[in-house]
Amino acid sequence: MFDEARLRAAPDLRRIVVAVDPSGTAGGGSGDDVGIVVAGKGSDDRFYVLEDASCNLSPNGWALRVKQAYERWAADRVVAERNFGGAMVEAVLQTAAKHLPVRLVTASRGKVQRAEPVAALYEQGKVSHCGHFDALEDQMCSMTGGGYVGEGSPDRADALVWALSDLSGSKPTLWDAL
């Protein structure tokens, strides 16, 4: 499915977001990665995955990575999960760049339930990956109806879900926006 819809570059985009799934660990080589995914919505009402900038860095390191992705893609906003760290997530991002428009979201349902609307977009052929994102695509293939069957956390896949959910406007069924 990924290969059939894969593109080298995206068309003109109406919106671009950088989504962040922070890790509950200190970073720097230990623990889970921080999922950072950039995606956009085109004037054709399709969705485009532009970059997987996920990393295993300290809070300052991943916040700088988010800032760089935001600026590189001229994004509209940053969407960040608040479950690990709450206000700390926003503070870390604002320290890296005061100008970042950040929307904090809370995971109020399970991963499978949050991912279902995004999976439906893929099944309907409404999402293209602009490039190859092997680690992200591996995590996505490890999401099943029974949960995540891969190793570690699906950090990249979680960030992708936040990005596409924000772009598709499916916020009310996926999270409680604060």
Which domains, ranges and CATH numbers included, belong to the chain? 2-174 (3.30.420.240)
* 160 neighbors 49 (Cβ within 8 angstroms): yes
Strand bridging mode 13-21 / 127-129: unpaired
pLDDT in tens, 6-60: 999 999 999 999 999 998 655 556 678 999 999 999 999 999 999 999 999 999 9
User: Among candidates 17, 22, 7, which has minimal Cα distance to 106?
Assistant: 22
CB 89 within 8 A of CB 100: no
| Beta-bridge mates of residue 16 | 40
> What was the pLDDT predicted at 167?
97
- For the stretch 96-114, pLDDT in tens is 999 999 999 887 666 667 7
Nearest CA-CA partner of 160 in 63, 91, 81, 75: 81
**Residues 106 and 82: beta-carbon distance below 8 Å:** yes
